[in-house]
Amino acid sequence: MTKYRQTKPVKDSSGLTAASLLHSLRCRRGSAPLHTIGFSTGVIQSLLDRKLVKVQNTGCGFLLEIIEEM
């Protein structure tokens, strides 16, 4: 008789990916050039919608920054 492991329920993958992007930005001192980010536009948009990040035009490109909590 073969024993099967019970699997954990899968969490919302977009939430996990958004958390990964936030972690990546924190590791980069809170910001990164938008063209260097390897996440989908949907993940970036979800963080923008939740007002966790902002996009800044630097004149030489765009920067994705974590919004500082006050």
Note the pLDDT of residue 47.
Answer: 94
pTM equals: 0.73
Note the pLDDT of residue 14.
Answer: 60
Note the pLDDT of residue 16.
Answer: 76
Query: How many domains, the chain?
Result: 1
Among the listed residues 11, 22, 30, 25, the one whose alpha carbon sits nearest the alpha carbon of residue 46: 22
Domain membership flag for residue 6:
no
Note the pLDDT of residue 6.
Answer: 58
Domain membership flag for residue 34:
yes
More confident residue, 14 or 69: 69
Domain membership flag for residue 60:
yes
Domain membership flag for residue 52:
yes
More confident residue, 15 or 14: 15
Tens digit of each residue's pLDDT (9 = 90 or more) over 42-68: 999 999 999 999 999 999 999 999 997
C-alpha Rg value of the chain to the nearest Å:
16
Domain membership flag for residue 5:
no
Residue 52: domain span: 13-66
